[in-house]
Amino acid sequence: MEPNTFYDNELITASEASAAQETALMEVGASTGYLPRIQLFGGSSDAVKEGKINVGRYGLVRSKDQVEDLGPEVDVLVCAGRVKALDLSGDIAFTSYDHKSELFKEIAAGASEENSRKMFGPEYLVWIPSIKMLATFFLSSPTARRESASIHARLRKAATLKAKLIVGKKHKWHGPVITACSTPFDMPDVEFLNDEIAKFVAPKVAEVEVATSEERAR
């Protein structure tokens, strides 16, 4: 079937002023208390099994049922980083941003247990120029943490998130690979970005909240 060009094509030409407003709309929309997250999807993911995204691809997760396919490679600006431990094992979600706290240590100690729903690692705030949005990228698995030095080296710089298939003795899985980005892209508004970075890195001891169904599905 031929695509409906009336709905698929832009019907009016954007002026310079309206283009600037559209960028502002995206930036303001990204400025919320809850940021979507970037996730590299493996074969065991429910989203892959349900056909929402293919294996070995990055997705922008806005909710359990809303995953936007970003492709096998994603260019980002690595804006800031923090440490994070997250416990989703119960109806109450516990989060710690202090690696010296007892809560962080407790979550990290239990993360190695199978199906523990506990995870820890560095979390980064990234700007995704292709969709003009901010998101978090949580390197919470052992494979991802081993790549954390590579993304830290790109802090305040452009980076490309890639994926590689890892072959173990019993299993195969995908892990992230972070490299320098060679493709120029548009930067967000500096004031907007600085405000979001300040909120992201602001001192936090811990957070306790009711875990949503989307969070428990991670």
pLDDT value, residue 207: 67
Neighbours of 157 (CB within 10 A): 13
User: From the CB of residue 146, how many other CB atoms can be counted at a distance below 10 Å?
Assistant: 12
Structure confidence at residue 196 (pLDDT): 94
Rounded to whole angstroms, the Cα distance separating 134 from 113 reads: 32
Domain boundaries, the chain: 7-71+80-138+186-216
pTM to 2 decimal places: 0.79
Question: What is d(CA 166, CA 176) in angstroms, rounded to the nearest whole number?
Answer: 10
> pLDDT at position 80, please?
95
pLDDT computed for residue 51 by the predictor: 87
Residue 14: the pLDDT is 55
* pLDDT at position 45: 84
Which residues of the chain fall short of a pLDDT of 70?
Answer: 1-33, 205-218
What pLDDT is stored for residue 214 in this prediction? 42
Whole-number pLDDT of residue 181: 94
Both structure tokens of 74: 């994603």
> What is the Cα–Cα distance from 152 to 17, expressed in whole angstroms?
36
